[in-house]
Structure 1
Amino acid sequence: MGSEHTAAHRAATTSESATRARTRRAILDAAVSLLSTDHAASLGDVAEAAGVGRTTVHRYFPERSDLLAAIGADVRERVAAATDRARLDEGPAPEAMERLCLEYFELGDRLMLLYDVPQFIAWSGIEEETPADLAVLALVRRGQEEGSLDGTVDVSWLQEVMWAMLYTAWLQARDRGTPKHTSLSLCLHTLRKATAP
C-alpha cells in the first residue's frame, strides 16, 4: 500500500512539473512573439497572448525584468544547443561556419530581441562570454590556421562579421518581406566573400 501511494505521489508530482514546464514555455514563447512586434508589451499583454491569466504570469515572472532575464537565459541555451548541432570541429572551417549560420538563422526572432529591446541592455547576461562564443572563436582561429578563412584580420572581427550578416538577413526577412531562404542564401554568399582568405 505504501509503495503504491509513493508511486502515485511521484506520478502526480511529475505530471505537475510537466504542466508547469509547459505553462512556462507557453509564456516565454508568447512573450518572444509579442515583444518581437511590440517592445513595450506588458505582462498583461503577454498573459493574453499565452492564453493564461495575468496572475499566472506573475507567479512565474513577478516582474518584467524577470521575464526578460528568462528569455535571455532561454536564448543562451538555444544558442548553445545550436552551436553543438553545427559540429564546429568537423570538416573545413568555412563549411562549419555555414552550418552554424543555418542553425543560428532559425533563432532569429529570439536573437533579434537581444539587439532590439532596450531593456536587454540592463540584463547582466548580455555581455557574458559563453562557451558558444568561445567555440565560434576557436572555429575562426582554426580556419585562419588552415588557410580557409582570412588570416589578416582579428579573430573577433570575423566573428562579428558573421553576426552582422545574420542580423542583416533577419532584418531582410522581417522588415522587407524577403523570403527566409533568400535572406539566408544572401547571408551565406556574402559571408563566404567577406571571410575568404
Structure 2
Amino acid sequence: MSTTSGRPLRADAERSVRAILAAAERVLTEHPAASMEQIAEAAGVTRITVHRRFANRQALLDALATEAADKLARAIEDSHPETAPPLVALHRATANVLRIKGAWGFALGPAVAGSERAARRHQEIAERCTALLTRMRDEGALAADADPEWVRRVFYALIGEALHGGPTAGDPDPDALATRIVDTLLHGAGPRPGAG
C-alpha cells in the first residue's frame, strides 16, 4: 500500500494518490514545468487534495519517481529472473521494462532523479539484472569471459536507444522490440554463424 508520509493510506486516498501520479506523468511529459494546479485538474481533484497528499512539487516528483521505480521492479519480478530459463527471463524482463519505460518515461527520466527510495530500487534492479546476466554466462548463453556488469550497461543502452532514438523508437510491440534488443545483445550486428 502506498504512503506519502510513512503511514498507510485508506483506499480512497490511495486511489487519489494513484490518480495524481498518473496525471502528473501525463502532464509533465507534455509540459515539464506544469504547476501543481494543472496536475490536480488533469487528475480530476482539487489543488488542495494534491497539496494534502504532497507538501510541495519536490515531494510529488519524489513520489512519482518512486512509483515508477516500483512499477519497474514489479515488471522485473514478473520475469522471474532467478528461476525462469535465463533467455526467457531476459526476453520477458526486456518486454516488461519497455512497457513501463514507455508509459512512465518522465518519471524514469533525469528530470525526476533524486528520490533516495527510487535510487535504491534502481540499484536493486541493476543487481538483479547483473545476476541474471551472470547466470546466462555461467550457463553458456554469454561468452565465458563476458563481464556481466558491462553487458548490463550495454543492455540498458540498447533499451534506451530502442525507446528514444532512431526509427524503432516508440515501436508499438514491446515483445518484437524485446526480441530485437536481446538478439542484438547476444549476437551484435555481425553475421550469424551458418547464415547464408
TM-score, normalised by the number of residues in structure 1: 0.78
The superposition leaves residues 107-162 of structure 1 with CA deviations (integer Å, 9 ceiling, x where unpaired) of: 024552245442x2333345435433222111000001111024434212221222
Aligned partners of 1:179, 1:85: CA distance in 2, in Å?
A: 22
Aligned position for 2:85 = 92
* Partners of 1:126 and 1:193 in 2: CA distance: 29
Contact kept? 1:93, 1:149, Cα under 8 Å: no
Indicate which of 27, 49, 68 corresponds to 1:34. Answer: 27
Q: Give the structure 2 partner of residue 12 of structure 1.
A: none
1:161 alignment partner AA = V
Encode CA deviations 1:61-106: one digit per residue, 9 max, x unaligned: 1111100111111122212211111011334322210010111111
Q: Which amino acid aligns with 1:192?
A: D
Matches within 5 A, 1:59-74: 59-74=52-67
Q: How far 1:176 sits from its partner (Å)?
A: 7.6
Shift of 1:194: 2.2
Aligned-residue offset at 1:29: 0.6
Contact 2:75-2:96 within 8 A present in 1 as well: yes
Deviation at 1:36, TM superposition (A): 1.7
Which of 169, 183, 191 lines up with 1:192 in the alignment?
Answer: 183
Higher helix proportion (structure 1 or 2):
1
Partner of residue 82 from structure 1, selected from 72, 75, 79 = 75
Structure showing greater radius of gyration is: 1
Decide whether the 8 Å contact of 1:150 with 1:196 is kept in 2.
Answer: no
Residue 113 of structure 1 aligns to a residue whose secondary structure is coil
Number of matched residues? 179
Structure 1 unaligned blocks of 5 or more: 1-15
Q: Tell me, in whole angstroms, the C-alpha distance in 1 between the residues paired with 2:162 and 2:71.
A: 19
Q: How many angstroms does 1:47 deviate by?
A: 0.6
Residue in 2 that maps onto 1:10: none
State TM-score, norm by structure 2: 0.78
Native 8 Å contact 1:140 1:159 kept in 2: yes
RMSD after superposition? 2.7
Contact map agreement 1:150 1:195 (CA 8 A) in 2? no
Please say if 1:165 is aligned against 2:135.
Answer: no
Aligned-pair CA distance for 1:26: 0.5
The one-letter code matched in structure 2 to 1:26 is: A
Q: Contact 1:75–1:110 at 8 Å: present in 2 too? A: no
Distance 1:36 1:152, change over 3 A: farther
Structure 2: state its 5+ residue gaps.
1-8, 189-196
> Does 2:114 correspond to 1:122?
yes
